Amino acid sequence: MKNKRGDILVENVIFIVLNIIFVSILILFLFRQGSGAGLLEQTYSKQIALMIDSAKPVMEIKLNMEKTKKIAEENKFDFKDVVSITGNVVNIKLSQKGGYEYSFFNDVEVKAFPETDSKNEYTGVYVFTINKKEQ
Amino acid sequence: MIIKNKLGAEKILSIYWFAILVIIAGAVVAMVSLFYGTPYDVRDAEANIMINQVSNCLSENGKLNQELFNEDKNFNEDYNLKEKCNLIFETEFKNEREEYFLEVDFYDLNNSPNGVSSGVKIFSISEGNLNLYADCKIENEKYKKLSKCIDREFYSLDSSDNVFKIKITSVVRKTEKNAK
């Protein structure tokens, strides 16, 4: 009788632990999906393209990209290579593979570079300078 | 006998419970993948920004840009909208065609015939891929994702204080990047 009671308790504990593990995996999956590199690449490239479209020469825009800095560091990818602008196309890369590009229609000259502090370390902010295109 | 049946029932119950967990997990994964797999559609914002840029370049402080008119005070047929408004429609994407279309219509509100309060269209400029304009006319829901079309109007004066209504239509395709 004593043994039987003990078995039931162990079964219940295992059942509860398994449920907790299941729910934890689901929550972890949701968080990982929401902050994935692919999603961030897409959102930042579109956000930067729209930002450039709305800008006028001469402007300097600072964009906080700390989230991308974290992911780039995790992927051992240099933060200064995260944003690249070729012609009128913005490309965001958070790893060696992949990347997402989006074009803008504003015919301006754009330069992008990461901001550094006094110790020459990246602050997580990207600076965009918008100038008139030289003919 | 009763104990044996109870154990059997518990086993069946645990199999059902396991099946329910798998179904719930599958549904959550499917919903999340569907939600995050759909690209953000920013074409509305893009088309609106383009209209703002064009309207700012055509009219300043409520007066139409003088470059729109020739020496005879008629509309300048050679007005280069893309060049004057700093627009670039060509992209360096692989296998990508022109993704924008822009049309500006000028309506004369001074010499409107009786009953036409919206004015008479006297001049029009367009740039970009004209084929995209057809997408705006499609009513079918299935094809509505093809291109985003935005129309906006504003009023402005020329140097002789004649009133004009300016209607700007902006069409952005970029379907592959914005719709699934």
Residue-wise pLDDT for B118-153, tens only, equals 788 899 999 998 888 888 887 777 666 788 999 999
Minimal CA separation from A23 to chain B, in Å: 9
Evaluate the CA torsion angle A57, A59, A60, A62 in order and state its sign: negative
Which segment of A102-111, B67-76, B168-177 scores lowest on mean pLDDT?
B67-76
* Torsion of the alpha carbons at B175, A91, A124 and A69, rounded to the nearest 10: 90
Nearest CA of chain A to the CA of B68: how many Å? 20
A11 and A68 both lie in a single domain: no
CB-based contact, B38 to chain A, within 8 Å? no
Half-sphere CA count of A134, side-chain side, radius 13 A:
0
* Chain B residue at shortest CA distance from A109: B86
Asked if A96 and A120 sit in the same domain, the reply is yes
Q: Are A108 and B88 in contact (CB under 8 A)?
A: no
Task: Assess B157–A contact: CB distance below 8 Å, yes or no.
Answer: no
Res. B43: pLDDT tops 90: yes
CB B65 within 8 A of CB B58: yes
- Which residue in A has a C-alpha nearest to residue B49's C-alpha? A54
**pTM for this predicted structure:** 0.83
Contacts of A102 (CB under 8 A, 6+ apart): A45, A46, A48, A49, A89, A90, B177
Backbone angles phi and psi of B20, in degrees to 5: -65, -45
pLDDT at B133: 86
Q: Under an 8 A CB cutoff, do B92 and A50 touch?
A: no
The pair of three-digit structure tokens given for residue B84, joined into one six-digit string: 């004057």
* pLDDT for the residue numbered B170: 96
- Mean pLDDT throughout A114-123? 94
**Cβ distance of B28 and A30 shorter than 8 Å:** yes
A13 and A24 in a single domain? The answer is yes
Q: Do A18 and A76 lie in a common domain? A: no
Chain A residues touching residue B90 (CB < 8 angstroms): 88
How near does any CA of chain B get to the CA of A123, in Å? Answer: 27
Number of separate domains in chain A? 2
Taking contacts as CB-CB distances below 8 angstroms, the residues of chain A near B87 are 105-107
Judged against a pLDDT cut of 80, whether residue B88 lies above it is answered with yes
Average the pLDDT over A13-37 and give the result. Answer: 84
In the predicted structure, residue A11 carries a pLDDT above the cut 80 = no
Question: Any chain A CB within 8 A of the CB of B3?
Answer: no
Question: Do A55 and A21 share a structural domain?
Answer: no
Same domain, A68 and A5: no
What domain range includes position A59? 37-132
Q: Mean pLDDT across chain B, nearest whole number?
A: 85
Selected residue with higher pLDDT from A106 and B160 = A106
Q: pLDDT category, A35, cuts 50, 70, 90?
A: confident
Beta carbons of A105 and B100 less than 8 Å apart: yes
Are residues A27 and A41 both part of a single domain? no
Token duo for residue B47: 């088309």
A29 and A54 in a single domain? The answer is: no
CA-nearest of B157, B146, B32 to B99 is B146
Best-predicted range by mean pLDDT (A77-86, B30-39, B129-138): A77-86
Beta partners for B156? B164
Whether residue B32 has pLDDT greater than 50: yes
DSSP assignments along chain B, one per residue:
-HHHHHHHHHHHHHHHHHHHHHHHHHHHHHHHHHHHHSPP--HHHHHHHHHHHHHHHHEETTEE-GGGB-TTSSB-TT--HHHHTTB------TT----EEEEEEEEESSSPPTT-TT-EEEEEEEEE-GGGHHHHH---GGGTTS-EEEEEEEEEE-TT--EEEEEEEEEE--HHHH--
Dihedral of CA atoms A119, A122, A128, A134 in degrees, nearest 10, equals 60
